[in-house]
Amino acid sequence: MSVDKTIEMTGAQLLCETLVRNGVDVMFGIPGGTVMPFYHAMFEYRDRLRHILCRHEQGAGHAAEGYARVTGRIGVCIGTSGPGSTNLVTAIADAWMDSTPILAITGQVMGHLIGTDAFQETDITGITLPITKHNYLVRRAEDIPAVVTEAICLALDGRTGPVHVDITKDAQQERCVADFGVIDEIRVQAKGHSQASARQCGYSIYKSLQSHATYSTNKPSSTPTSPSDLKREYADKDNNPWSSISEMLSDAEKPLIMAGNGVIMSEASGELLELAELLDIPVTTTLHGLGSFPQSHRLSLGMPGMHGWVHVNKAIQECDVLLCVGARFEDRVTGKVSTFAPNAKVIHIDIDKSELNKLVKAAIAVKCDARIALRELIKASAGRKRNKRDQWHDKIALIKREQLPRQAYMNRNRTSSLMPHDVYDGFNELFTQCDNYRVVTDVGQHQMWAAQLIHWSKPKTHITSGGAGTMGFSVPAAMGIAVAYPQDTVWVICGDGGFQMMNQELATMKQENITNVKIAIVNNGYLGMVRQWQELFEGKRYSNTPLSSPDFSMLAKAYGAVGIVVEDKTQVAGALSCALEYDGVVVIDFRVEQEANVFPMVPQGSSIGAMITGKESKVMESQYERNDETQNKVYPKESEVFHEV
């Protein structure tokens, strides 16, 4: 490394070298005027840095997200200045909402042109400011190693998330003496920080790394952060909350665990299972938590929230202690938050302090990594005497037995020869026979059906755009996953609307020889979820939701993939196994019943105790109101549509 210090390099070469030294080996992007020096240098690094040439920067961003979500490593996406960088914005926002660690690198116009409305100039750091953990505008080549290294460390630390680095073209062209010592320095500090403080303190260490990232020549001699920043912080000011949490859980009559993305990100599924079994507590997993707890397990309940099962939402409303790990009480989970879990003492464990007591007031709130927290809880709970839970389990089981058959597609009402649930039955059948699968869903009805109906059993097999709800996410994200795990079969389940937003990435897959992506389009000829809302709440006024599509099988063929059309239930299994066996991208067009709905459903703004369980059903009366605010008056408008369950 000492040799390197004497080498003069361009900023672009420094950038490549820095990425390689930080363990990056694949990037997704599109070249353009202001990143041309970077792409010029990248050519020398093509044996170490694989670049996937996408067709749209948003696709590059989602691909980086997919890569990061399954590997836990940094996903890198690249765009040029102006439109190239604004096209990345949706993907960055998506990563921000779902805490996905990506590094967005964009080119910027020459330093002297910034602020002059130069060709393809956009104030992109101004735009990404509220949707990144941090962003940087780099104007000097010599700052690149430190800034990029810090950006990567920052993206991956604490609550992971997107970081954006905007680099002027002249900084990429400028030659300077390479100093890579700073890379190791930052990485050692970041690593030391992660280990020493056990990932419990967010990313405060980066405040002490500022000196590396500042553009000022006047570097501070001492770190401005006090060591007290690194001490464990518990909202209840209790230095050891574990025994009191364990006691609460053990003594509870009706406890419940809610697990979210945090459990998957910190790879704590084993610990979650151990704790649930140890204390005999049922587990519900949020949309992003799906897969963190095997759904075949007797303690598994399924997904809560707007499209959660009735027994799950009822369990939440009835439980007396709710342990929430790595989830953040989004409105799609809580419904009307003032009525959420009214009987429960909430214990909230999250790596991000700002999530604690943000929406739901916690009896005990702990800022901690999920795996560390669960391990501590297992330790604190071992040998502890606990309450009997049989009645609680029986009660949930009874609601499940009563409600499940009433829930629309569970009773197999057939209105056409191919219903959406036939497709999911096919997947469940398929997944019992193969092991190496990942499922990426898009956004809409098919996403909720997948979340409800597929038997999730392993972490990182369910990848979706949850927080931002970005239609078009699935196809490019699957491409990123396919690059990360070429031996896995990556299944895309998407709608006809979402597929058409990002299907151009099929061309990327062809060019890059990515063959392990199989796409199942649940094609109902509508922007289905919006249509469902229009049907239920807006008197069936289908304003701009009917959607015409090209012949997807022919489109697939045009992209060098194989297209299959399925119009009958009997063809589902055959089509799926055919797609699995074929060595190449396959697009299956499942032409399903057009007006099938996702049930159960909690109307927006209602308590999760008030659910619509089917087209013919009434909103189940919520008995859980804890204040006398009138129920949402808008929904449902057409009360005659519903009848008493």
> Least Å distance between CB 97 and other proteins?
14
Q: How many angstroms separate the CA atoms of 360 and 458, rounded? A: 29
Q: In 481-640, at which residue ranges do the beta strands (DSSP E only) sit?
A: 489-495, 517-523, 562-566, 586-591
In whole angstroms, the minimum distance from the beta carbon of 589 to other proteins comes to: 41
Nearer to other proteins, 226 or 411 (CB): 226
Name the site residues for other proteins (rule: CB under 8 A): 125-126, 129-130, 133-134, 137, 154, 202-203, 206-207, 210-211, 214-216, 218-222, 224-226, 352-354, 357-358
Contact 531, 444 (CB under 8 A): no
Q: Is 169 a catalytic residue?
A: yes
Minimal distance, residue 462 CB to other proteins, in Å: 28
CB of 159 to other proteins, least distance (A): 9
Rounded Cα gap, residues 610 and 310, in angstroms? 9
Active-site annotation holds for 529: yes
Give the residue among 458, 514, 482 at the shortest CA–CA distance from 66: 482
Instruction: Pick the closer one to other proteins by CB: 358 or 384.
Output: 358
Nearer to other proteins, 125 or 172 (CB): 125
CA dist 277 → 266, 281, 299 (Å): 20, 7, 8
- Find the catalytic residue in 27, 258, 529, 611: 529
Q: Of these residues, 9, 27, 38, 57, which one is catalytic?
A: 57
- Which residue in the list 1, 5, 44, 119 is annotated as catalytic? 119
Shortest distance (Å) from residue 100 CB to other proteins: 17
The distance in angstroms from the start CA to the end CA of the chain is 72
**How far is it, in rounded angstroms, from Cα 161 to Cα 187?**
18
Beta strands in 260-317 (DSSP E): 283-285, 300-302
Active-site pick, 133, 169, 314, 569: 169
- Considering the complex, what minimum distance in angstroms separates the CB of residue 190 from other proteins? 12
Cα–Cα nearest to 111, from 172, 32, 164: 172
User: Based on CB atoms, which residue is closest to other proteins, 83 or 220?
Assistant: 220
In the residue annotation, 631 being an active-site residue is answered as: no
Q: Which residue's CB is nearer to other proteins, number 210 or number 244?
A: 210
SS (H, E, C) 255-273: EEEEECHHHHHCCCHHHHH
- Pair 120, 81: CB distance under 8 Å: yes
Q: How far is the CB of 319 from other proteins (least distance, A)?
A: 26
Instruction: Identify whether 97 is a catalytic site residue.
Output: no
Nearer to other proteins, 256 or 346 (CB): 346
Catalytic site includes residue 119: yes
| Cα 314 from Cα 333, distance rounded (Å) | 13
Amino acid identity, residue 520? A
SS3 letters across 338-366: HHCCCCCEEEEEECCHHHCCCCCCCCEEE
> What is the C-alpha to C-alpha distance for residues 617 and 635, in angstroms, rounded to an integer?
14
- Write out the catalytic residue numbers: 57, 119-120, 169, 529
